[in-house]
Amino acid sequence: MIVSAGEGITRTFASDAECRHYLHALRCPNWVAAVGLIVKGRNLASSNNVEGAIVLFRQAKELDDGLQFNPDLEAERLATESLISEGQNTARKGDVTGAVEWFKKAQTLDPSRKLNPVADANKFASEGALVRARNLVSLGDTKGALAEFREAKRLDPSQHIDPEAEAERPAAEHLLARARQLGRQDLIKEAMPAYSEAVTAYGKAPGLDPDGSIRAEAWNDLCWDASVQGHAADVMDVCEQAVALAKELKPGSWNSRDSRGLARALTGNTAGAIEDFQFFIDHTPRVDLKLQRQRWVAALHAGQNPFTPEELNSLLN
């Protein structure tokens, strides 16, 4: 009852006359005054003035006997919630010691609350450090972000984060996106060092690319895009790197063999191309791609070149 009564009021009346005017009544009902007292009591309780809140809540009940709440318990509940909120906000700002004190006060006021002042302070301080870390990442401050990620992990070891990876990931993602854009724009000369920079970035922290799949896919993308656009001879080493990195990966292993097969075919290594395409045919679940590669293999076996300008153009999409 107290919650609905208190939260439903957005203002109190300065005088009896204002109340009567606002409610279009001959007299101001007791429940209005009671609600006003409840609002003031809630504010006092939230300011940790429990005794003052209890006095006002009792007065409210005297005015409106329909109010069903315990003044003492309600004041303690609101004060406890306020103390906990203060503790959480203080912790998020990085003041663990101050937060512990707020949580201890809440625990003293209401021992039934399952609070662990030190653990709770560390938990919310960790959350605050994560927020600051991600803000620093967005500003390009990798060093500052790394320090905050490490602090978040120290405060709450249960956080499933890799500080180094979290700090480095946005920059690595940006570099790779830029490299892919250059490759798809047929700017292969510029794309090659851009891919190299991106791959290096993904190798800075073990957690960024633990199985090498991102780097393998990056080299595979460059191998494919460059080959389709007429630069197969320039990226054969890249294609080999993609195959080597993706050797134990699925579907990376057969995708990289497919890309190398295309580069081999376009540079005159027909036998190598057939071998790679057959590996792809044997592993891919894509029926449409399987049929296309079978057509390529048949043409290569017949001494024909299946990679007409139209065919290559279709592979760009």
Beta carbons of 52 and 44 less than 8 angstroms apart? yes
What letter would DSSP give residue 212?
S
Residue 6 has pLDDT above 50, yes or no: no
Angle ∠(189,194,195) on CA atoms, nearest 5: 100
Query: What would the pLDDT profile of 144-193 be if each residue is shown by its tens digit?
Result: 999 999 999 999 999 999 999 999 999 999 999 999 999 999 999 999 99
Average pLDDT (203-227) is 94
HEC per residue, 274-316: HHHHHHHHHHCCCHHHHHHHHHHHHHHHCCCCCCCHHHHHHHC
**pLDDT of amino acid 25:** 60
Residue 207 has pLDDT above 80, yes or no: yes
The number of residues making up the chain comes to: 317
**pLDDT of amino acid 7:** 40
Query: What would the pLDDT profile of 63-95 be if each residue is shown by its tens digit?
Result: 888 888 899 999 999 999 999 999 999 999 999
Q: Which two tokens stand for residue 178?
A: 């830029």
At 36, is the pLDDT very low, low, confident or very high (cuts 50, 70, 90)?
A: confident
Average pLDDT (271-293) is 96
**pLDDT of amino acid 2:** 42
Residue 24 has pLDDT above 70, yes or no: no
What letter would DSSP give residue 1?
-
**pLDDT of amino acid 33:** 78
| Structural domains present in the chain | 1-69 (no CATH), 163-315 (1.25.40.10)
Query: Does the bond joining 206 to the residue before it have cis omega, within 30 degrees of 0?
Result: no
Percent of the chain residues past pLDDT 70, beyond the cut = 91
At 98, is the pLDDT very low, low, confident or very high (cuts 50, 70, 90)?
A: very high
CA 43 vs. chain centroid, Å, equals 36
Burial of 3 (0-12, 13-18, 19+ CB in 10 A): exposed
Query: What would the pLDDT profile of 235-262 be if each residue is shown by its tens digit?
Result: 999 999 999 999 888 877 899 999 999 9
Q: How far is residue 192's CA from residue 199's CA, in Å, rounded to a whole number?
A: 11
Average pLDDT (40-46) is 89
At 132, is the pLDDT very low, low, confident or very high (cuts 50, 70, 90)?
A: very high
Mean of per-residue pLDDT scores for the chain:
90
Residue 29 has pLDDT above 90, yes or no: no
Ranking 7-11, 13-17, 35-39, 159-163 by mean pLDDT, the lowest is: 7-11
CA 191 vs. chain centroid, Å, equals 29
**pLDDT of amino acid 37:** 84
Q: How many CB atoms lie within 10 A of CB 197?
A: 14
Residue 10 has pLDDT above 50, yes or no: no
Answer with the residue of higher pLDDT: 61 or 104. Answer: 104
Residue 123 has pLDDT above 50, yes or no: yes
- For the entire predicted model, the pTM comes to 0.71
